[in-house]
Amino acid sequence: MRLLTRTKRTRLQDRAVWQAASLLLAYPDEQHSRRLDTVAGLLEHLDGKPAELLGRTLTALRKTDPLTAATAYVDTFDMRRRATMYLTYWTAGDTRNRGMAMLAFSSAYRRAGVEPPRNEGPDYLPVVLEFAATVDAESGRRLLVANRVPIDVLATALAAADSPYAHTIAAVAETLPAVSDQQVKRARELVETGPPTESVGLQPYSLTGPPREEG
């Protein structure tokens, strides 16, 4: 009974971590302060390393005025392709395969009884985290585990940029199984070489993705 109770508690905590992470990774708009208050409330029910990591991001964002936070967010996630939160960008790049990769997310949402978001890519990490936290924890966990390599690539990029959001990605990683040597190697390769590219002679297939950098 104790084991079952502890397992249930761990699952509930994972969902709280995912919900807090989804809120912290949202664009700092007019609801920014309210979202941070919600995260603070969630942290009251968490402990251990995930709580510590999420708390670091929360503290950093609360110390930053909204305009500066919004500017930093755009600089971090929208102007740097290597810090994109669109997970299939790293597994499929701007190729025809990306459509099928996105379909896996949309199909998981529909099987759980919800429609994919209309104004955001189904592979957008905050969307995936929100789904895992509030709709279907097991299906959401499977999506996160299947995309552990992109998550680790994102974590590496944010850490290199000394971004406070790096702590949030690290907290999400704490809820997932340990990475294999193969996953570590693949993440390192993607950091060094970038995502896959389309074969010669084919037109790139792109749904939703990060903006192209100037120059």
How sure is the predictor about 178, in pLDDT bands with cuts at 50, 70 and 90? Answer: confident
| pLDDT of the residue at 80 | 67
**Residue 135 CB contacts under 8 Å (≥ 6 apart), including other chains:** 109, 112, 113, 114
Q: State the average pLDDT over residues 206-215.
A: 36
CA dihedral 100, 104, 105, 109 (to 10 degrees): 130
Of 140 and 99, the structure prediction assigns the larger pLDDT to 140
Q: How far is CA 144 from the centre of its chain?
A: 8
| pLDDT tens string 19-42 | 999 999 999 999 999 999 999 999
Nearest-angstrom CA–CA distance, 152 and 171: 11
Of 81 and 187, the structure prediction assigns the larger pLDDT to 81
| pLDDT of the residue at 6 | 45
**Residues 117, 121, 123, 126, CA torsion sign:** negative
pTM for the whole thing?
0.82
| pLDDT of the residue at 88 | 87
- Residues forming beta bridges with residue 124, ordered by sequence position: 86
**Mean pLDDT score of the chain:** 82
Provide the percentage of residues in the chain whose pLDDT is more than 70. 75
How sure is the predictor about 105, in pLDDT bands with cuts at 50, 70 and 90? Answer: very high
How sure is the predictor about 165, in pLDDT bands with cuts at 50, 70 and 90? Answer: very high
Nearest-angstrom CA–CA distance, 10 and 134: 15
